[in-house]
């Protein structure tokens, strides 16, 4: 009986890994192709009508499919083998959007080139490796205000959903010369002008691919998820793609053009190995450029919040996180694997690799050990040889999946402390600034600076007044303390001959898990001088 149960669990994990590999490979390649890769646009119009440039971009997308599958297979397998965690690894959907649209820019219109951005990611990986070995990365994540951590995840969810609704996905949202964004989905002849593609002058939402993506990639997928059908997102993507593959329809992904003919010829190969031709080892180590260091620094703190927060969330979901120290077993190894994978991914031409939130699907199916991640890695490896299929998935097939993933990530708002304005406003600014600025870093900056300014000012007033000037509902604020356990990682303690103990040596009393007051406790508790002094001391 035990073997039957294990076999059924393995089948569930295999089904989950197949869905995750399809989503990660197709969506990641679709987003990163918008950067243009190593293709060079000689004009300032984005080369949206340049057939030669677009053909080069198609080759970049094929490269990125091989890259995404390869680095995801390697990193997921290493995470399961070395760290024994049920967490899959792949280029992050939020990080690749930041890499593409905020750093490199659409078709290379950003402040640094694709090659320079890869060099920044490569250096970031090795800096993260050192920070992980020293325990600094884990410690920084543990001292972050939890409401801000949750807000970053929710903001990235909105960002991903916005991308899924825009021209890189369903095409529901287009440009507007007055309001910046508006309804899109019109045909090419209804654009305001040839210089403003996807700016609809009239007849919005008339493009049949928009409605195909909404109903088969969106509504159908949600209905399947509603009834808990396995691989619902996978089914939605492939149903939409299969309908888009015939060349004689109005929703075809292979129009009778030179680019369409080239894509269709590649699609007919079905199974093949596509070697890296344009993005492999394409780094430009131009570290003398100050903008490269700006990108590197932003990658660092965005990735700290993204990867670190995701790993801790997945460890908590799997019941592996210590309630006292807020750390989990093998955390140093896990972060070292992540850092190594970031640098290797840069050599292969992709954005930072991260633990992806869809790992929760495998955990919910019963995966609690590294076998889950290893099986996912095997699934990614098999996908390397099906590049023609993944390269032929149209953007309107993955747009609905992006919106659904965004709706899953927005659930983080439930964990934000909305009862205290000092926690709520910075969290809200983080959430709203990420999609509106099309930049994760700006949202993080807005949240952190507003948090420090608001709560720091209140703390200064309280100290100057001797605790007489305090917010009336200060007891409802989220407790911010440095969790026990210290900054020194476990491996250093072992080398030093130190033995960790669950008992606090200063008091000989077992440490209690850190928690914020419940909603009921906040509503029935009034702030007092003693309470404030205790909280201020911890801050």
The answer to whether 197 touches 48, Cβ cutoff 8 Å, is: yes
> What is the dihedral sign for C-alpha 71, 72, 77, 83?
positive
Q: Which contacts (CB < 8 Å, 24+ apart) does range 285-288 have? A: 285/119, 286/116, 286/119, 287/119, 287/123
CA dist 367 and 363 (Å) reads 4
> Which tokens is 113 given?
């080139």
Residue among 406, 306, 311 nearest 363 (CA): 311
**Mind listing the pLDDT tens digit for each residue in 369-425?**
888 889 889 888 988 888 788 778 888 998 888 888 888 878 889 889 999 999 999
The helix or strand, by DSSP H or E, that contains position 146, with its residue range, turns out to be helix 146-165
Residues constituting the chain: 539
Cβ-based neighbour number of residue 459 at 10 Å: 17
pTM over 0.85: no
**Mind listing the pLDDT tens digit for each residue in 363-381?**
755 677 888 889 889 888 9
- Is the pLDDT reported for residue 166 higher than 70? yes
DSSP state of 82: I
**Mind listing the pLDDT tens digit for each residue in 82-138?**
999 888 898 877 688 889 988 898 889 888 999 999 999 999 999 989 988 887 776
**Mind listing the pLDDT tens digit for each residue in 1-22?**
444 444 444 444 444 444 555 5
Pairing relationship of beta strands 180-183 and 89-91 according to DSSP bridges: unpaired
CA dist 32 and 26 (Å) reads 10
Which one has a higher pLDDT value, 539 or 84?
84
CA dist 298 and 304 (Å) reads 10
């Amino acid at each position: 009986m035990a073997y039957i149960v294990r076999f059924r669990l393995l089948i569930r994990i295999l089904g989950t890994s197949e869905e995750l590999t399809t989503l990660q490979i197709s969506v990641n390649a679709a987003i990163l192709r918008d950067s243009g890769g190593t293709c060079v646009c000689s004009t300032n119009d984005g080369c949206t009508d340049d057939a030669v440039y677009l053909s080069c971009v198609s080759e970049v997308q094929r490269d990125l499919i091989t890259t995404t599958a390869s680095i995801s297979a390697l990193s997921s397998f290493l995470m399961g083998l070395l760290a024994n965690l049920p967490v899959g690894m792949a280029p992050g959907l939020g990080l690749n959007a930041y890499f593409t649209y905020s750093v490199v820019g659409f078709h290379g219109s950003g402040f640094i080139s694709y090659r320079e951005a890869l060099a920044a990611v490569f250096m970031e990986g090795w800096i993260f490796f050192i920070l992980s070995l020293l325990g600094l990365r884990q410690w920084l994540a543990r001292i972050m205000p939890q409401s801000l951590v949750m807000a970053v995840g929710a903001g990235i969810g909105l960002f991903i959903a916005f991308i899924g609704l825009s021209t890189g996905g369903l095409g529901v949202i287009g440009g507007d010369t007055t309001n910046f964004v508006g309804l899109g989905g019109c045909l090419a002849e209804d654009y305001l002008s040839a210089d403003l593609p996807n700016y609809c002058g009239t007849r919005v939402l008339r493009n049949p691919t928009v409605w195909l993506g909404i109903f088969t990639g969106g509504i159908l997928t949600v209905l399947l998820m509603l009834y808990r059908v396995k691989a619902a997102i996978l089914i939605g993507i492939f149903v939409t793609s299969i309908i888009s593959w015939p060349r004689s329809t109005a929703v075809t992904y292979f129009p009778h053009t030179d680019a369409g003919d080239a894509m269709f010829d590649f699609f007919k190969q079905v199974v093949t190995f596509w070697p890296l031709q344009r993005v492999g080892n394409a780094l430009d180590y131009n570290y003398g450029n100050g903008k490269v260091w700006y990108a590197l620094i932003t990658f660092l703190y965005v990735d700290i919040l993204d990867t670190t927060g995701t790993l801790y969330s997945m460890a908590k979901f799997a019941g592996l996180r210590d309630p006292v120290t807020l750390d989990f077993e093998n955390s140093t190894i896990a972060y070292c694997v992540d850092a190594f994978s970031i640098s290797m991914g840069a050599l292969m031409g992709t954005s930072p690799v991260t633990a992806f939130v869809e790992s929760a699907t495998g955990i919910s199916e019963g995966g609690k050990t590294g076998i889950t991640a290893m099986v996912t890695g095997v699934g990614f490896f098999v996908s390397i040889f099906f590049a023609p299929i993944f390269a032929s998935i149209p953007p309107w097939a993955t747009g609905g999946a992006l919106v659904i993933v965004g709706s899953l990530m927005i659930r983080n708002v439930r964990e934000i402390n909305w009862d205290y304005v000092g926690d709520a406003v910075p969290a809200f600014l983080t959430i709203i600034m990420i999609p509106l600025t099309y930049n994760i870093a700006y949202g993080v900056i807005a949240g952190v600076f507003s948090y420090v300014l608001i709560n720091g000012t209140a703390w200064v007033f309280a100290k100057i007044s001797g605790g007489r000037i305090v917010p009336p509902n200060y007891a409802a604020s989220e407790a911010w303390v440095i969790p026990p356990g210290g900054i020194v990682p476990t491996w250093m303690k072992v080398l030093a001959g130190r033995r960790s103990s669950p008992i606090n040596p200063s008091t000989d009393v077992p440490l209690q898990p850190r928690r914020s007051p419940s909603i009921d406790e906040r509503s029935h508790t009034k702030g007092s001088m003693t309470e404030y002094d205790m909280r201020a001391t911890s801050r």
